[in-house]
C-alpha cells in the first residue's frame, strides 16, 4: 500500500487546500476499469515523491460535493493542486511518463 491519503468531502480542505506541498488527486470509482489501470501508477508516485508531493484518492461516488466543485465529469481524472489551487489536470488512463511531465514542474527538488 502506498503513502496516499484517502480524501473525502470532509477532509478535502485540510488535506488539499491547506497543504504546504503540491497535491495530486486521483478522482476514481470502484466500477471504473481505467481507474483500476492507473491506480498502481498513482501509488508509485505517492512512494517516489513522499514528502514532496501529497497523493490522494477520492471516490467520486461517495464524495459528490468535491467532484462537482471541480467539474469532474469523466474518470479517472488526476487533478494537481498547488497552494490550494488546481494547476493542472489529466483525464483518462495515461502512461506514467505523461503524468510526470505534468507534475515535475510543480515539485521542488
Question: Which residues are catalytically annotated?
Answer: 32, 35
Residue corresponding to grid cell 515539485:
107
Are the C-beta atoms of 63 and 75 separated by less than 8 Å? no
Q: List beta partners, residue 27.
A: 58, 77
Amino acid at each position: 500500500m502506498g503513502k496516499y491519503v484517502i480524501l473525502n468531502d470532509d477532509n478535502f480542505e485540510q488535506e488539499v487546500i491547506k497543504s504546504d506541498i503540491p497535491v495530486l488527486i486521483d478522482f476514481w470509482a470502484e466500477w471504473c476499469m481505467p481507474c483500476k489501470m492507473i491506480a498502481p501508477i498513482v501509488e508509485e508516485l505517492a512512494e517516489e515523491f513522499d514528502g514532496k508531493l501529497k497523493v490522494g484518492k477520492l471516490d467520486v461516488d461517495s464524495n459528490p460535493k468535491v467532484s462537482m466543485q471541480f467539474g469532474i465529469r469523466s474518470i479517472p481524472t488526476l487533478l494537481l493542486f498547488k497552494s490550494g489551487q488546481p494547476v493542472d489536470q489529466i483525464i483518462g488512463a495515461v502512461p506514467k511518463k505523461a503524468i510526470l511531465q505534468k507534475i515535475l514542474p510543480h515539485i521542488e527538488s
